[in-house]
Structure 1
C-alpha cells in the first residue's frame, strides 16, 4: 500500500495552514452559522435552533443598529478628513526641516505606538469633569467658571472620542504622506518653478496629485480601523450617555456579552463587515483612479 506523499511546498506550509484554520477559519464558520440561529450564551443548546435569516431581518429593522451605523459613519467621515489634513500639514512641515528630521519622524510616530486601551484611559482622564486636564486648564485661564461635562454631554462626548481618534492616528497619514513626498520626482516640481508657478500652485497641481495614491492607501487602512472602533469608545464613554456615542462594534459587544444574544450579535457583525468592505472597495477604486491619472497603471 503506497503512502500519500505531499509535495515539499505543502509540507512547509502545512503548520501555517493548520494554525490559520484553527484561529481564523473555524471561528468564522462557527460565527457565521450561529448568526442563523437563536444562540444565546446563557443557553448553549440554542446553538442548534435554526431560525434562518431572522437575525439579519431583525438587524435591518433595528433603529439602534442604524443609529450606531450613522454614528460610525459620522466618526469615520470627520476623523478621516481631519487626520488627512493634519497629517498632510505635518508631513509637509517635517519634509522642510533640514536639521533633526530623523528625530522628528521618530517623535511623530509615538501616538500610533500606544495601545487603544491606554489612549482611552488617557483621554478619559484628560476630559474628566472634576480632575481632567482640559477643565483645569480652561478654569485656570478664566475661560470658564464651571466644569464642562465632556464625557457626559452627548455632543461633547462624541467630540472627545473624535479628538482621541485623531490624536492617536494622524501619524499614520503623516508617515505615509511623508513617504510620498520623498518619492515625488523633482523634474515636474522644477518645471513648475521655471514656468512661474507660485508655491501654492506647485503644491496644488504638481505635488498633491502625486500624493493622492498615498492618501487613499492611508484612508483605506484607517477606514477599517475606525469602522471597527471599540476600545477607545468602550473605555471613555461605554457608549453613553444614553447610547449617544454607541458605535457599531460597541453595540455588537453589548448585544453579545451583556444581553448574551450571540447569534443576533454575529448577524450584526457580518452586516458591519459588509459595510467595511464597501468603504475599502471605494477607497481602492479612488486609489486606482489616482494611479491611472499619474500613468502608474492599475
Structure 2
C-alpha cells in the first residue's frame, strides 16, 4: 500500500492554517470555554469547573453591565451619525475645491494617523480643568469666568469622549464619501439642473442615493471600532467619574484584570461581540438596499 500523503496545495496552506489555529482559533475556543466557568486569574484550577450559562444569567440582572451596554449603544449611535454628517460636509467641500484638492485630502487624513492612545492623551490635556486649551480659550473669549470640569462632570466627560472619537474618525466617512463623489457620473446632475431642481433637491434625490452605499460601508467599519472603544476612554477618564463613562470594553478590562474574574469578563466580551455583529448585519442590510436602489434608478 502506498503511504497516504497530503496533496501539495494542502501542504502549502498548512503553515498558514497552523498559525491561524495557534493565534486565533485556540485562544477563541479557550475564551469561549472560560465564559462557561467561574475562572479567576488568582485560581487557575477554576478553569475546569463547568457552570453552564450561570455567568450569562448573572449579567441579565447586573445593572452595572446594562449601564455600560447602554452607554456603548449611545456612543455608537451619536458618534456614527455625527461622523457621517461631518464627513459628508468635508467631502462636499473638498470635492468643490478648484485648487489644492490633494493638499486638502492629505490634511483631512491627519487625524487618522494618530493612534487612539495619543488621541486620548491629546484630548485629556485639552480638556484639563486648569491648563487645558479648551478652558483657556473659553475664558480668554469671555464665554465663561470659571474652569469647566470637562473630565470630572459625568455628562461633560462623556461628551468629551465623543468629541475625541468624532475628531479622530470623521475622516473615515469623508474618504469613502469623497470616493463616491469622484466616481459619480455627471449626467444625472446635469439632467437635474436642466429640469429646474434646486441644489437641495439635486442632493436629496440624486447625489445622496448614489453616496449611500459608500456611507454604509464606512458606517460598518466604524461601528466595529466604536463598539470596541477602549483606548481613548481608558486614557481620558478610565471609566470615571464614578464609572459614569464606563462602556463595555472598559468594564470587561476592569472585570478581567482588576477583579481577576476572567470567566465573567469573557461572557461580557461575547455579548459585546454579538452587539457588533448585530450592528454589522443592520448596516449590510441597508447597504444591500442602497445598492438595489442605485441599480434600479441608475
Normalising by structure 2, we get a TM-score of 0.97
How do 1:1-298 residues align onto structure 2 when only pairs under 5 Å count?
2-295=2-295
Shift of the alpha carbon at 1:296? Answer: 7.0
Cα deviation digits, residues 128-174 of structure 1 (max 9, x gap): 11111111111112211111100000000000000000000000000
Cα distance between partner residues in 2 of 1:248 and 1:160: 18
Alpha-carbon offset, residue 49 of structure 1: 1.3
SS in 1 for 2:83: helix
Structure 2: how far apart are the matches of 1:2 and 1:271? 50
C-alpha displacement of 1:3:
3.5
Query: Which deviates the most, 3-12 or 35-44?
Result: 3-12
Q: Distance in 2 between matches of 1:74 and 1:146?
A: 29
CA distance in 2, matches of 1:27, 1:296: 45
Tell me how far apart the structure 2 counterparts of residues 60 and 169 of structure 1 sit (CA, whole Å): 32
In structure 2, how many angstroms separate the alpha carbons of the residues matched to 1:261 and 1:222? Answer: 29
- Segments of structure 1 that go 5 or more residues without pairing to the other structure are none
CA-atom RMSD in angstroms: 1.2
* Aligned-partner Cα distance in 1 for 2:3–2:160: 64
For residues 40 and 278 of structure 1, the distance between their equivalents in structure 2, rounded to whole angstroms, comes to: 29
Structure 2: 5+ residue runs without aligned partners? Answer: none
CA drift of 1:187 comes to 1.4
Shift, 1:236, TM fit = 0.3
**TM value normalised by structure 1:** 0.97
Moved over 3 A (4+): 1-4
Superposed displacement of residue 61, structure 1: 1.3
Q: How many aligned positions are there?
A: 297
Q: What is the CA–CA distance in structure 2 between the aligned matches of 1:114 and 1:102, rounded to whole Å?
A: 20
